[in-house]
Each structure stands twice: as structure tokens, then as C-alpha cells.
Structure 1
Amino acid sequence: MLFLSNNSFSGEIPSNLSYCSNMIFLDLGFNMLKGNLPTELGSLSKLRTLILQVNSLMGNILPSSGNLSSLQEFASSENNFSGMIPETLGQLRNLNFLDLFGNKFVGTIPISIFNISALAWLDVGENQLEGGLPSDLGFTLPNIKIINMGNNYLTGPIPESISNASNLEEIQFYQNDFTGKVPSFSKMRGINWINIQFNNLGGEQSTDLDFLCSLTNSTKLKVLGISGNAFRGLLPDCISNLSTTLSQFWLADNHISRTLPYGIGSLINLEILQIQGNHISGNIPSEIRNLNKLKILDLSQNKLSGQIPESFGNLSMLIHLDLNSNNFRGSIPSSLKNCQNLLFMSLSTNNLSGYIPPEIMGLSSLSIYLDLSQNSLIGPIPKEVGKLQHLGELRLDGNKLSQHIPSSIGSCISMERLYVQDNFFEGPLPSLMSSMRGLQVLNVSNNQLSGQIPKFLESLNLTNLSLSYNDFEGALPIGGVFRSAILTSIVGNKKLCGGLPDFQLPKCYYKESKQKRISGIAKILISSISALVGVACILSLLYVFWFRRNKNASASSSSEDGFLHVSYHNLLKATCGFSSTNLLGVGSFGSVYRGLLDQTQSVVAIKTLDLTCDGASKSFIAECEVLRRIRHRNLVKVLTACSGFDFNGNDFKALVYEFMSNGSLDEWLHPTTSQYTERNKLSLLERVNIAIDVACALDYLHHHYEMPIVHCDLKPSNVLLDDEMNGHVGDFGLARFLPEATHKLLVDQSSSVGVKGSFGYVAPEYGAGSAVSTEGDVYSFGVLVLEMFTGKRPIDDTFENGLDLHRFTKAALADRVEKAIDPILLQEIEELEKRRTIAPEGKNRSWCSIKDCLVLIIEVGITCSFESSKERMGIYDALTKLQGMRKKLLEFIVIV
């Protein structure tokens, strides 16, 4: 036996392997081998298993393969083999596993292969094969379990005889040109996967879908895909009797008509239901509320009517909801607020009316797409739109919306495309839209907007801007997107002037009256006085902060200022005397306990400072100063602080935070033996979401506060996870305000040498005495990303001779990225790989799609953790790349 798989071998297969005449097992899979197969291998008459999959081998499969008389397993998928499949393969009477998937074979499938009665697995998918299938296929392959012929050019009917292949578990005939009626599957009780999508099956009106009723005895059926055919008639009521194990049901792009059967609510384990592109009419049956495991529901491009059911609120697992291009009327149900996992929602091109529910506009989970366009919605855009911080595209065009565009939309910092044209919006574009630095397309045409065109539009990365048919006035900017009359549309604004010549606007003429000049002087005086008053206010606030910080805060639990006040006694009681049973963790400057506050009856996390530690008091002050100023959904929220004395008269300081029920990221990445039984493993998508959450938090700290804030101690133990596995950055004990001079005014923590951080996460320049910078946080973020996806700590026991996490992943990226990936993720990817062929579009998208995503993630981690701070990627760019990668990943997950 010779096991040589997954070793990055390159070059050609040596012909002298044929000298190993007694070899029974040869595995060369998952390497980088190229060239033709040596014909000498055909002499290995005792060989039982030959595995060549996932290489770059080419030419013909062994013409002498008929001599491999003992061969039982032959896997050569995902290579570049070409030419005809040799007829001699049919001489291998002991062959039970034949995998030729993903090559360049042409011609017909040799009839001899269909006569190998021992064959249990036949995979010739993703080639260029043509011709039909033998009519007696079901009789000549009595032991067949898996048959994949997807994505070829096969024609003719699916043989009726296939109904006799009672051992079949999986049928993959997708993306060919099969025609006619689908045979009965009634004898296939063990079948779990049927994919006959994208052919030309059906076309015989009312009887087209009768074969669905033959599956009611198939108790293991999980996936049923019939999309993209010519099926007509109605969906039979018998689908209510399909197995409750069914998790994916694909019916899209046929000619199915009439109403949805009420019995569809019986398929309680459905996760994907896609019926778009048919002629389904009537109301959505209320029984759909029973499908509470649905993740993807697509009923778009049908003739459905009535109201969108309130029962959709029961579908709390939904991540993708598409109801566009139907005849729905009435208001958008507010119950959709319960769908807290939604990433994509389209309700466009219906007859919906009424106001946009604030709860729907504020669904912060939406990160890919929200489309409410082409309806009859009225009123303003709810201010809750600011919660869509991760949304990529928002479409509200073609409604009857009015009033001002809310300034809160400026919080949508990840938005790339915004369409609000063809409404009745008025007033100026809000200045806070300048924060939408990811915006590429903005269309506000055909409204009643007024005022000057904001200069900040020049600084955005816009590739398409439409301001047409509004009431904008004044000078047209000349920078950024305004350099191109092709990319920018301004027609229908009669009061505009200036701009570049291509816009053909009149010149701007300015007349400044005496009254305006006097007014200008008055404004300068008012501004100066305001500045002096502002300075006085700041000094007063600083005095109040100093006074309150040094005051004994052991008093009452409530106050007129509206903030929760707690004493040492309150916290002692909340933690049962700071009992070890409530201890959550120990850090550099103290311990964190779980507690139950009497005042609010809520569970909280209480961080007590060990004031005997050097720097603990400064850490407390720094954290108070930062946390009282910042607010962001991905930062741990501080509820209150306590600064006083314990019962022995010793100084006591503590911070009280919101409790994060899922603990720290570190506990998930490196669980102890006991934690393995208590928690599930982090999935690929969960890790991506957490990485994006952390990047969002850093982007806010670095770019969206009045002065940059550097965290200085970013690591997995300082990333906490809430009920929904959202990431929150905590522990600001080492945080710094920039510029440094401003920070020194607030807190005496000016020494750059005093920066501690955590070993393995601290930027290299800090060790050389460099000043604190946002680039230092980016370095820590890069290390954290690499740790999340490799499962290795930055200083791992397996690293030797100067190797570290950055160098380890960089080397793997240049070789095979999967060598560096956490084995837990590789197991998950293998599961996704098994479902690859249900994908209705693209060839072999599974591993390639996920590998592309993993490469991008590792590249972000590597680029952020470069030794030179000048070479590091900015946190906003890292965030943008990760969000783009998540979209690709979600598109793939939606498909499979």
C-alpha cells in the first residue's frame, strides 16, 4: 500500500511504480501532479484501489486499464483528463466505485460501463459527455447506489427502468438536456437525494408532477431539486405526505400554476424552499408558519396575492426572504421583526402600502440586501435605518415616501448602493451621509430635494451618481465623481451652475451685499464667543469628572442623573461575596464575576480591580474615560462604575458591564475539556461574522469618534459573545485617545513604554518604543483573524526556529491554504462539499468557492499583521474585504 495524498507533490507520476507488482493500494490524490498517466501502471494486476483525484493530470485515462483486473475503486475526479472514456473500463468486473467527475471527457458513456453489475458508485458529472442512457440501465446496474451525470450534454428520456434500481440513494442528472416524463421512484425507499434540475423535462400538462407522489414512501429523502425544467400543471396535494426529513425543495423556474397546497406546512424540517419563477397564484397558506426551520424562502416572480402573512414572524431562522414581483397588498407585517437572522429581504414590485415599520427598517442583521422598491409605501424613512450598519444595498425607489432623508442613514457605513429615486423626498441631503465611505452608487433622482449639492460627495468612492430632476441649486462640485458627466447625472436641476464644461451648465455669478458682509462679521464674533463659552464648559466638565472620580461613591443605588449607582455592598451581594463559583475570569488588573443586581434584577458582569497591581488605578480611570464616551453595537456596554471603600476601609473600584452569555471568543477557539461538552464548535460563518463585528468596532474607534481611540489590547479573551453570537470588544484598561496631547489632558498615562498589551498580539514597533497608533490595533486584529481561522495561538507549541502564526499562514497561503485551516472548519467544509451538486448554477462551486473565501480571509489577516506598520491594511479596508467575502460565502451557502 502506498499513501501519498495531500503532500503537495508536483511533476509527473514515475513509470517505475509499475515495478511494485504486488501493490494493492495507491493513493496520489490532492497533490499537484501533472502530465499523462504512465501506461505502465496498467500492469498492476493486483491493484484494488487507485486514487488520483484533485491533481492536474491530463491526456487519456489508461488505455490498458482493462488489465487492472483486480481494481475495485478508481477515483480520478477533478483533473484535466480528456478524450473518450475507454471502453476497456467495462472489463473491470470487480469495479464498484468509479469517479471521473470534473474532467474534460467527450463522446458517449461506453455501454460496457453500464454492464458492470458490481458498480455501486458511478460519477461522470461535470464533463462534456453526450448521447442518451441505455433503456435497461435499472436492470444492468442492480447494485447502484450513487449515480451522478450532472452538467453534461446528455439527451433523451430518463430510462423508465431506473425505477427498478431499488438501492439508489442519490440521483444527480442536473444540467443536461433530458426530456419527457420523469419515471416513478416508488421502489427507491432509501433514496435521499434527487437533483434533476435544469433539463427540459415535463411539458405534458397535468401529469408532469405525478412522479412526486411516488416519493411518499421514501422516508430518507432530504433533497429534491426539479427547478429549471418545463413542468406544468399544479403542485399535487401529495407533497404533504413527503418525508419530514426533506430539508431542501427546489421547484423554481417551471410553469407550475394554481395555488400552493396547504399540506406544504407538513414539511416541518424544510430549510430551503424555492418556488420562484412559476405561475403560482392565490394566498400564501397560513400553514407555512409550521416551517420554523426555514432559512431560505423564495416565492418571487409568481402571481401570489393577498397580504403577506403575519405568521411569517414564526420563521425566525430565515436568512433569505424573497417575495418580489407578485401581487401582495396591504402593509408590511411588523412580525418580520422576529426574523433576527435575516441577511437578505426583497418585497419589491408588489402593491404594498402604508408606512415602513420601524422594526423592519431596524433589522440590524440585514447585511446583503433590503429591497422595498416599486410599491406604494408612504411616509418617511424611519430613523431606525441607521441600524443597518452592515447592509450592502438598500432599495426604496418607486414608492410614495416623503419628508427629509433621515440623517441617521449616515450610520450605514457599509452600504455600497442606495436607491431612493422616484419618491417625494424634500430638503437637503443630510451631511452625515459623508460617513458612508463605502457608497458606490447613489440615486436620488425624481424627488423634491433642494439646497446645494454637498461637497462631501466628491470624497466618496462613487462610481454612479444620479441627482436628476430635483431642485438642487448653486455650484456643481468638480472633484471625485463630478469629474465625469457619464458617471454623474444632474439633468432637471435648473438652478445649478459651474462644474466642468462637459455638464454644460451656466457660469456661477456671486453678489455679496453690504448686509451680508456685516452679517459675516457678526457670525465671526458669535463664533469666537461660542468658542470661549465652549472652553469654559469643557473645563467645568473636567472639574466635575475629577470631583466625582475622587468622591466616595458608596452611596445610593439610584440618582437624579438617571444612571445606576451601586456600592461595594451592592456588588458584594450580587456576587455572593465575590464567590469563586461566580468567577468568570482573571485579567492583568483584576477579576470578573457574574452577578445579579438587586436594583434591576438583571445578570451583569462585574470587573473588580486589584489596586495592589501597578497601573490598576490608571487602567480603571482610562476605561471609565473611554466607556463613558463611546457607543457602538460591537463594544461591550458599561452600565455603571463603583469607586469607594470596602468594609475594611480599603480602596475599592469596579466596573459593571452587560453580561455576555456566550463568554469570550478565546473560550470557543481553545475550549477546555469541560467546555467541549457544553458548547458547539464555531462554524465558518460564525467566525466570519465575529471577525466583521470586531472590525466594525475598531473602525468606529479609529475613524468615527471625535478623536481616534486605540484599544491597545485586542485579543480573543477581550472579544465577548452575546446570545446571538455577536462579537463585542471589551477591556479598555489600556486604551489611549489620539492625539496623545489630548489624552494627556484627560488621563496621565503618557508613557509609550508603559504600553503592555498581551504577548503575541502586541505590534512589533511598540517593543521598539514607538508611540501608540491605530496601526498597532490593526496588527492585533490581523493576528486575531489568523488565530480564528487556523485554531492556533500566535505563539503555538508547534512553531520552531523563529516561526510564528504570521509566517506559518503566509507559507501555507503560498502552498495550500487548507494546511493552515482549523481542522474543525475543514470538517464543516467536507460536509458542504457533499452537497455541492445540488447547486443550480456553476460547476463544482463548493471547494473552489470556500477556498477563495478562506484565501481572502487569510490574506486579510496576513496583510494586517505585517511587521512594518506602513505595509498594513487599514481597518476600514479590512472590514470591506471581509464583508465582501461574507457575501460570496453566503451566496454559496444559499446555493447549496
Structure 2
Amino acid sequence: MDLPYADQVLSGSASYLTTIILLFGSVLSLVEIGGDKIDRLALLEFKAQIVDPGRVLNSWNDSNHFCEWYGVTCDRRHRRVTIMDLHSKNLAGVVPPHIGNLSFLRKVYLQNNRFHSEIPPEFGRLFWLQELFLSNNSFSGQIPSNISHCSNLLILNLGYNTLEGNLPTELSSLSKLQKLILVVNNLTGNIPLSFGNLSSLQIFTTGVNNLGGTIPETLGRLRNLNILFLKQNKFVGTIPMSIFNVSTLTVLDVDANQLVGGLPSNLGFSLPNLKAIYLSENHLTGPIPESISNASNLNRFLIVSNNFTGKVPSFSKMRGLQWFEIAENNLGSRQSSDLDFLCSLSNSTNLGVLALGRNAFGGPIPYCIGNLSITLWWFQLDYNHILGILPSGIGNLINLEGLIMGFNNISGNIPPEIGNLNKIYIMELCQNKFSGQIPKSIGNLNMLSILALDGNSLWGSIPSSLGKCQNLLLLDLSTNNLSGNIPPEIVGLSSLSIYLNLSQNNLNGPLPGEVGKLQNLGELRLNGNRLFQRIPSSIGSCTSMERLYVQDNFFEGPLPLTMSSMRGLQVLNVSNNQLSGQIPKYLESLNLTNLSLSFNDFGGALPTGGVFRSTISTSIVGNKKLCGGIPDFLLPKCDSKESKWTRISGTAKVLMSIISALVGVACMLSLLYFFWYRHHKKALASSSSEEGLLHISYHSLLKATGGFSSTNILGVGNFGSVYKGLLDQTQSIVAIKILDLTRHGASKSFITECGALRRIRHRNLVKILTALVYEFMSNGSLDEWLHPSALQYTVRRKLSLLERVNIAIDVACALDYLHHHCETPTVHHDLKPSNVLLDDDMTGHVGDFGLARFLPEVTHKLAADHSSFVRVNGSFGYVAPEYGLGSAISTEGDVYSFGILILEMFTDKRPTDDMFENGLNLHHFTKAALADCVEEVIDPILLQENLELEKRRTVSSDGKNKSWFSTLECLVSIIRIGVTCSSEFPRERMDIGDALTRLQGIRKKLIEFIAIA
């Protein structure tokens, strides 16, 4: 039966619609297939354009679908790339434009790599892009303006690069943008007014650039803004009032610009959510608004180096205040109530820093300072007009590390309660009106590094208890009324390295012979006292001393001959004493730039070399018995008889010296022959001891190394080269060190290394066979395994996690032995991967003791080195930061180097990597990751190993025997050890023995875990 016409039409329409749907589906399928190919080719092109030293992109091949490739995530429906996550993988090269073909990309994470050249403008084709992280690379050129086409962009992070040029105004069209991060680049120009249209913006950071002009008023339209970070640019004008009306603002940072004007009186009401305000280093004026107290969430208030004036308001409502710095302004008015606001800070139970120095505060310090939080670690009040006494309540602040109150008018006694501050390391009470005696309780402050009490009216004797302050680097007691003898305990403080100043007092008696223990000291001032007798000969041991002032005393006799050893001496002032005898010739050979010998009783011929060639650099007036010298000194000629006698005497001395030397050499050769004969005879009677040293001739070494052929070079160091050689005597392969004696310090390094290796023996130290001949380590250095060359990549695998843990334990064992189990505690002082050598079994051995130092057993903690003043020897990146401040060599310095070595081993980043600049270093980099996402800093090879072990354990355990421990937890624990050991302050580092124990515990659990897997 025929269908009605309407039914026929409907039936035809349905059939037609079905056909259209099928055709459209086929087209979509073709598009998806084509898109699949486009994404794959784009990824392969990306791989082809970059350098991948960690081989994290090895999985990018035809053996699996690109959605399975490392760092690539696809959506399930279309199988298109939506996320590329390759952050912190040490990748380098240029990002190819083909990345713009990944049209489904939502998120790109390429931060913390080494990409360079310009940011490809093809990013602007990624219309679905939401997050783009390119920070901490070396991108240059301008910010591509067509990134504005990514209309769905939420986060744009381009910080820590070398981008330049203006901020593109086109970015203002990104209405969904929440975070715009452009810190630490070379951007110039102004902030576009149109950025006020970024209505969703929550974080805007352009700090540390070269932006200028005024801060746009239009930024006040950003009603969702939480963080505004504009520090260290060249902004001028005032801070727009509109910004102070953005009630959502939590952080405002405009430090280090050229801003003027003041703060609004309603600041505390208009910014109720404010947590931190940074206004330092500008030209801001006016008072601190009293309304600030209503910003009860404020924890950081820093307005240093401005021109703020007036009274400081109450901060009683700020219970969370942690950091309060208002130094270097014109606050206060020299009135008695100027410091009353300190009492309001007693409610701030987390206060750590209180810096009020260089203002106009007057009046006394209120007694309520004893009620400040015990969390306070820095209290600064210097360069004000403060009167009255220092309240005894200061002793309640038991966590103080810095107390800076110099250059005021504080009077009365120094309270003995100050001895309770046993964590303090810097105390400056100088240039005040303190009187009375120095309290003996100061001797309790065993962490003290800097003590300055100069310019007061202190009297009495110097307490010998100060000798207990074994970490002192600087002691200044000058310009007081101190009397009595100089305590031997003070001049015996070998930790003193910056200066010791006891000048302008009433000290008497002799200079103690313990002065020779000041081997690290750079400057000694004893002038303006009543010291007498001879200058002790032990002073010649002060080989690091550069300036010595002993004028205006009653020293007598000649200058000691031992002073010829003071090769670092530049300034010597012995004027106005009773010194006599001839002026020593050795003064000519010292590196003196200023010498004052005036008003003594020196006689004889004035030398003519060295500093004596200049009448400007040398003062000799008041020595009436002098003659000769260069004509400019206008001295009388030396008497001919005296000259003849001097010549004869000199000739006789030379002859006597030669004869004595010859006799000495003959005696020495006789003794050497005697001992050699006795040793040789004993060697013939019995077999050689296993610990005995080989006797190897130069000819043998020459033959062993093929004439020191370049093909046998194992490495080149600061003082020479190391060769591989085959010894005829033992038919064993050895390492032979050849010194280049033309290099300064080579011979000293050799002597030091011989002295060290003569005293120490340990399974994890490189074994010495004889002088400059060492046991050969077949697997080279740890550095070669961590950072192999391009050639080594093809033949050398990467170290596994367990291997790295084992090597770390080997190094810790070696340091533990050196620090705690040697006859004399020893500091290696140059620990780094290239000085850790690996044998056949991949066991680590610490070598190269050319910079080693020996410490007295009782005082081998920080700043107790009795060897030489630190001149920041060692390798950059591994040297402890305190050495740069003049601290003495210590075991804690080795611990710092060990911590850096640990971090390098497990992050695969050198401490000298190009990424570490502008205050960022390996320690801070990994420490930040511990609190955020530690996987970002761990060597990708180890993360991959972790994944594989987890998979194996899951398969093999079948839900049984699952350990709580994982290799990732192992890595986190090790990174934490490395971060603690490399802490900036020595007292925060753990002892190497504790580090060793923790590493051994980690290894035990790791082995159990691997066994289960």
C-alpha cells in the first residue's frame, strides 16, 4: 500500500539526515586521524631541535603511541596532546615553531630548563591554551604580542629570562588571565594603561626589570588583585591612590624605585587583607598612618631607606607581625616617648626582626622590651639618640642572634643578664656611654662572632672569660678606660680573623707570647696603651696579618727577627716606643705599603730597598742615630769606618752562613745515609711491609707514563696534571701527579698533601703508594659519572639510586673519619665530585688533600682552625659562605661542601649552573622544592627508576608485603639531608656523623624495598 505524501517526505528527510550525519562523522574521523599525525610530527620536531642530556625524551619513538610518551598527556576522546610537561629536565636549545601545531594544548610546562633564543610567536595559535610556564630559562627578544590570541589563558609565567623591549599592550585583551609573572628580565618602557582591563588578574609581578615612568592609576581597577610586585625598577612619581583601594590586595612590593609622596591616612582600613608591604629604598615622605594598626593580618612591614617622619603608631592589633623594619628614615623627634610603640609589639608573638636603626629616636629604651616575643632574633637600634640604660630584660630575648645598639647615648652598666643570650653571634654596643666593668657573663656567649664595645667608658680589667668565646672573629674593646694586663686567653683566641682592637686604653704589662696563636688574624691594634718589654718573637707566627699597630706604648729592644715570616704585612706602625738596634733588612722584602718607625731609638744604616724607597710610605723621624738611606730622607752619610766595618761584618756573616750551611748539609747527608743504610739492611733481612712506601725513581715514572705522554693524562688541576702509568716494579696501574712548580702555591699544596696523607689511612680515602704516586681508580671521578661529556654519553650509563646512596655514604665515612677519628682532626677543604674517585666496585674514595688543614682536637668546631687565614680557597660553588666573610676553616665548611655534593648527586645540577643567579643557588632551589614539589628538582633518571620499581613492586607483591617506604621518599630524605648540611649558617648544619647515620638508615630501607620489588 502506498504511503501518504507527508510520510514519504518525512521518510526521505530522515534518510537524508542520516546520510549527512554519517558523512560528517567520517570527516571528523579523518580530521582526527590527520590531527593525530600533526601532533606526532610536531613532537618529533620538538625533540629534534633540543639537547636532551638526561635522555628524558628517549621514549619519544615509534614503539608506542605519542600519548604514551614521557611528559605528554592527551585527552581520551580525540587522542590529541593537551599537556606538555617537561619542566626541570635540563633541556636546552630553541623551541621550534612546530609547537604551534599542537592545537589542543591546554598546558605547557617548560620552566627550569636552558632554552634560549626568542619565544616562538606560534604560541599565539594555541587558542585553547590555559597555562604557559617558560620561566627560568634564557629566552631573549621581545614578548610575542600575539600571545594575546590565547583568549583562554589563565597563567603566563615568563620570569627569570633575558626578555627585553616593552610590555605588549595586546596582552590587555586576556580577560581571563589570573597570573602574569614577568620578574627578572630586561624589560623596558612603561606599564600600559590598558593593563587595567585585566579584570581577572590576581598576581601581577614585573619586579627586577628596567621598567620606568609612573605606575598606572588604572591598576586600581584590578578588583581581584592579590599580589602586586613592582620592585627594583625605575618607576617615578607617587603610588596611585587607587591601588590603596584594592581591598583584595595582600602583598604590595615597590621596593627599590624612585617613588615619592606619602601613604594615605586610611591605609589600614582600605587594605584590610594586607599581609606584607615593602616600600624600602624610595623617597617616600610623611608619617606612618595610625590606621595601619587595623591591618591585623600584616606580618611584614618594611619601609627602610625613605624619608618617613613623625611618631610611630601602635601596632597592638598585629599579633601575626614577624618582620618590622623601619630603619634609615627620620622617624622620632628625640623625645622621651619616641620608643613607647615598642610596648605595643609585645602582642606580636611571632616577631623575628625589629630594625629601627638610623632614625631620630630619643628617650630611653622602655623596660617592656623584656616582654617582646622570645622568637625575636634581630634587634637593631643603632645610630639614634637613645638615652638611659639598657634594661636587664634584654636577657629574656634568649633567641637573639643580633643585638645592634651602637652610636647612641646609652649609659650605665652592661647588664650581666646579657650572658643569657647564648645564641647571639653579633653584639654591637659601641660608641655609647656605657660604664662599669665588662660583665664576666659575656664569656657564656659561645656562639658570639662579633663583639664591639669600643668608644664607651668601660673600666677595669678585660675579663679572661672572653677566652671562652671560641667563635669570635672580631673583638673591639678600643677607646675605653680598661686597665691591667692583656689576658693570654684573649690573644690566644685563634678564631679571631677580622681584627682585634684593644687600642686607646690603659692596658699595661707585656704583650703575652700567646699572640702567636693569632695565625688567622688580619689586623691587630694595640696602640695607645702602656705596654712594655719586647715585642714577643712569637708574633712572627701571625702570617696572615696585614696591619699591625703598636705605636704609643713602651716596647723596647729590637724588632724580632721572626717578623720576617709575616709576608702578608702591609701596614706596620711601631712609632713612639723605645725600640732600638738596627732597622732589620727583612723589612725590605715584605709587601709593606706604609711603615712608621718614628720616635724610637733605631740606629745604623737605613735600608734602601722595598718600602724604604719612598719617603711618603716610610716615616723615620725622631731616630737620631740613623744614617744613609736614599737621599730624600736627608740623613747623614754613614761613617766610612762604620761602613767598612759593616761591609766586613756583612762579608763575615755571609762566609759564616755559607760555612754553616755546608756543615749542615754534610750532617744532613750523613744522617740520611745512616738511616737509609739501616732501613736498607732491615729490608734485606725481611720482606717489605704491606704498608711500606715504594721507592720509585724519576726514570721509572718517565717510563711508566710513556714520557708523560698526553695520551696518558687523566686530568689537569690547579697545580699540575695527573697521568696514568704502568709501574715495572709491581706491574700495576697507578695515578701519578706531576706538579707545575711555576704555578703559585704548587709546592705548598704538595707539602700539605704529603702531610695529610702521612697521617691518615681509611678505606674511603685515596691510597698513596709513595710521594705523588697513588692507587689508580679505574672508574674515574664522580664528576664524570654525574656530568659525562658527549663522548662519554655513548659508553657510560647513568648512576642508579642505590649506587649514588652508596657513594654518598662512602664520602660521609671519609669525612667522619677525618673530622672525628684522626689523631689530629682534619678538614679536607676542597670536597667536590671531581675529588671523589671510584674504584672497580664503584666504591668512593676522597682524594686531593692539597688544601687540607689540621685542627686541634678540642677546638675543631667553627672558627677554631689553627692553620691559616681563609682566603676563600677551594672550588666556587662548594665553598662555605662564611669563608667569604673571613671565618676560619672548620669541619662545618666540609659539611657544607658535602651538602652541595649530595644535592648535585641527586638533582643532576651543578652549583655553578647558569640558572643559579640573582641570589638563587642550588641550596635555595632544592629547599624551596621540598616545601612545594620536590619531584621538580630530582634527577629525571631517578624518577624514572622510581616509577619502574613501583610498577615491579605492584606486580610482584599482588597486594602483599607492601612497604611504607618508596624510592621517592628515599630521595626526599636525602635531599633534606643535603639541604640541612648546606645551610647558610654553620650552626644549622648537622654533624657529618649524624648525616652518615641517616644515610645508612636510608640505604637499609632502600635495599629492603628493592628486594620486595
TM over 0.5: yes
Q: Is 1:824 aligned to residue 923 of structure 2?
A: yes
**1:102-181, aligned counterparts within 5 Å?**
102-181=232-311
Out of 791, 800, 803, the residue aligned to residue 901 of structure 2 is 791
Partner of 2:861: 724
Q: Quick one: which amino acid aligns to residue 52 of structure 1?
A: L
**1:306-340 Cα shifts (integer Å, max 9, x gaps):** 11111111000001110000111111111111111
Q: Is 1:272 aligned to residue 407 of structure 2?
A: no
Q: Quick one: which amino acid aligns to residue 714 of structure 1?
A: D
1:470: how far off? 1.6
Mapped partners of 1:820, 1:270: distance in 2: 25
Change in Cα spacing, 1:444 to 1:632, as seen in structure 2 (3 Å) is farther
1:820: how far off? 13
Partner of 1:644: none
Out of 163, 169, 184, the residue aligned to residue 33 of structure 1 is 163
**1:106-157 Cα shifts (integer Å, max 9, x gaps):** 1111000000000000011111111111000000000000001111111111
Q: Is 1:441 aligned to residue 581 of structure 2?
A: no
Mapped partners of 1:221, 1:364: distance in 2: 36
* Alpha-carbon contact 1:277-1:301 (below 8 Å) kept: yes
Mapped partners of 1:376, 1:204: distance in 2: 34
Change in Cα spacing, 1:719 to 1:370, as seen in structure 2 (3 Å) is closer
Out of 66, 69, 79, the residue aligned to residue 199 of structure 2 is 69
Q: Quick one: which amino acid aligns to residue 96 of structure 1?
A: N
Mapped partners of 2:196, 2:570: distance in 1: 60
Partner of 1:645: none
**1:172-197 Cα shifts (integer Å, max 9, x gaps):** 01111111111111100011110011
Mapped partners of 2:651, 2:331: distance in 1: 80
Change in Cα spacing, 1:371 to 1:514, as seen in structure 2 (3 Å) is closer
Q: Quick one: which amino acid aligns to residue 141 of structure 2?
A: G
1:475: how far off? 2.7
**1:386-785, aligned counterparts within 5 Å?**
386-511=516-641, 530-531=660-661, 533-535=663-665, 537-539=667-669, 541-542=671-672, 545-546=675-676, 672=805, 694=829, 714-715=848-849, 723-724=860-861
Mapped partners of 1:37, 1:793: distance in 2: 37
Q: Is 1:97 aligned to residue 227 of structure 2?
A: yes
Q: Quick one: which amino acid aligns to residue 234 of structure 1?
A: P
1:436: how far off? 2.0
Partner of 1:234: 364
* Alpha-carbon contact 1:694-1:728 (below 8 Å) kept: no
Partner of 2:67: none
State the secondary structure of the residue aligned to 1:450. strand
Mapped partners of 2:905, 2:806: distance in 1: 21
State the secondary structure of the residue aligned to 2:595. strand
Mapped partners of 1:319, 1:334: distance in 2: 17
**1:859-882 Cα shifts (integer Å, max 9, x gaps):** xxxxxxxxxxxxxxxxxxxxxxxx
The aligned length equals 660
Segments of 5+ residues of structure 2 without an aligned counterpart are 1-130, 684-688, 691-728, 738-749, 762-769, 771-781, 787-802, 820-824, 831-845, 868-893, 931-983, 989-1013
Mapped partners of 1:527, 1:246: distance in 2: 65
**1:275-326 Cα shifts (integer Å, max 9, x gaps):** 1111111111111111000011010011111111111110000011100001
State the secondary structure of the residue aligned to 1:80. coil
Structure 1, 212-221 or 14-23: larger mean CA deviation: 14-23
* Alpha-carbon contact 2:753-2:850 (below 8 Å) kept: no
Change in Cα spacing, 1:679 to 1:243, as seen in structure 2 (3 Å) is farther
State the secondary structure of the residue aligned to 2:201. coil
1:797: how far off? 12
Mapped partners of 2:548, 2:504: distance in 1: 14
Mapped partners of 2:220, 2:516: distance in 1: 65
Q: Is 1:330 aligned to residue 330 of structure 2?
A: no
Mapped partners of 2:270, 2:233: distance in 1: 25
Mapped partners of 2:755, 2:451: distance in 1: 29
Q: Quick one: which amino acid aligns to residue 823 of structure 1?
A: L
Q: Using structure 2 for the length normalisation, give the TM-score.
A: 0.59
Q: Quick one: which amino acid aligns to residue 791 of structure 1?
A: L
Structure 1, 427-436 or 167-176: larger mean CA deviation: 427-436
Out of 282, 288, 297, the residue aligned to residue 412 of structure 2 is 282
Change in Cα spacing, 1:448 to 1:693, as seen in structure 2 (3 Å) is farther
Change in Cα spacing, 1:419 to 1:725, as seen in structure 2 (3 Å) is closer
State the secondary structure of the residue aligned to 1:64. helix
Q: Quick one: which amino acid aligns to residue 147 of structure 2?
A: L
State the secondary structure of the residue aligned to 2:641. coil
**1:490-532 Cα shifts (integer Å, max 9, x gaps):** 2222222232333222233331699989988987886676456
Partner of 1:306: 436
* Alpha-carbon contact 1:192-1:222 (below 8 Å) kept: yes
Partner of 2:208: 78
Q: Quick one: which amino acid aligns to residue 386 of structure 1?
A: G
Partner of 2:746: none
Mapped partners of 1:177, 1:820: distance in 2: 28
State the secondary structure of the residue aligned to 2:562. helix
**1:809-820, aligned counterparts within 5 Å?**
818=917
Mapped partners of 2:751, 2:507: distance in 1: 32
Mapped partners of 1:52, 1:119: distance in 2: 19
Mapped partners of 2:145, 2:320: distance in 1: 43
State the secondary structure of the residue aligned to 2:347. coil
Partner of 1:862: none
State the secondary structure of the residue aligned to 1:207. coil
* Alpha-carbon contact 2:517-2:866 (below 8 Å) kept: no
State the secondary structure of the residue aligned to 2:605. strand
Mapped partners of 1:365, 1:21: distance in 2: 63
Mapped partners of 1:193, 1:297: distance in 2: 20
1:545: how far off? 4.2
Mapped partners of 1:173, 1:535: distance in 2: 71
Out of 243, 255, 260, the residue aligned to residue 373 of structure 2 is 243
Mapped partners of 1:191, 1:259: distance in 2: 27
Q: Using structure 1 for the length normalisation, give the TM-score.
A: 0.66
Q: Which has the larger radius of gyration?
A: 2
Mapped partners of 1:344, 1:478: distance in 2: 36
* Alpha-carbon contact 2:296-2:318 (below 8 Å) kept: yes
Q: What RMSD in Å do the two structures reach over aligned CA positions?
A: 4.5
* Alpha-carbon contact 1:295-1:317 (below 8 Å) kept: yes
1:538: how far off? 2.4
Change in Cα spacing, 1:87 to 1:370, as seen in structure 2 (3 Å) is same
Q: Quick one: which amino acid aligns to residue 84 of structure 1?
A: T
State the secondary structure of the residue aligned to 1:153. coil
Change in Cα spacing, 1:822 to 1:248, as seen in structure 2 (3 Å) is closer
State the secondary structure of the residue aligned to 1:365. coil
Mapped partners of 1:63, 1:640: distance in 2: 70
Mapped partners of 2:490, 2:733: distance in 1: 46
Partner of 1:347: 477
* Alpha-carbon contact 2:495-2:864 (below 8 Å) kept: no
State the secondary structure of the residue aligned to 1:32. coil
Segments of 5+ residues of structure 1 without an aligned counterpart are 554-566, 569-610, 620-629, 642-652, 654-664, 696-711, 731-783, 800-804, 832-888
* Alpha-carbon contact 1:52-1:76 (below 8 Å) kept: yes
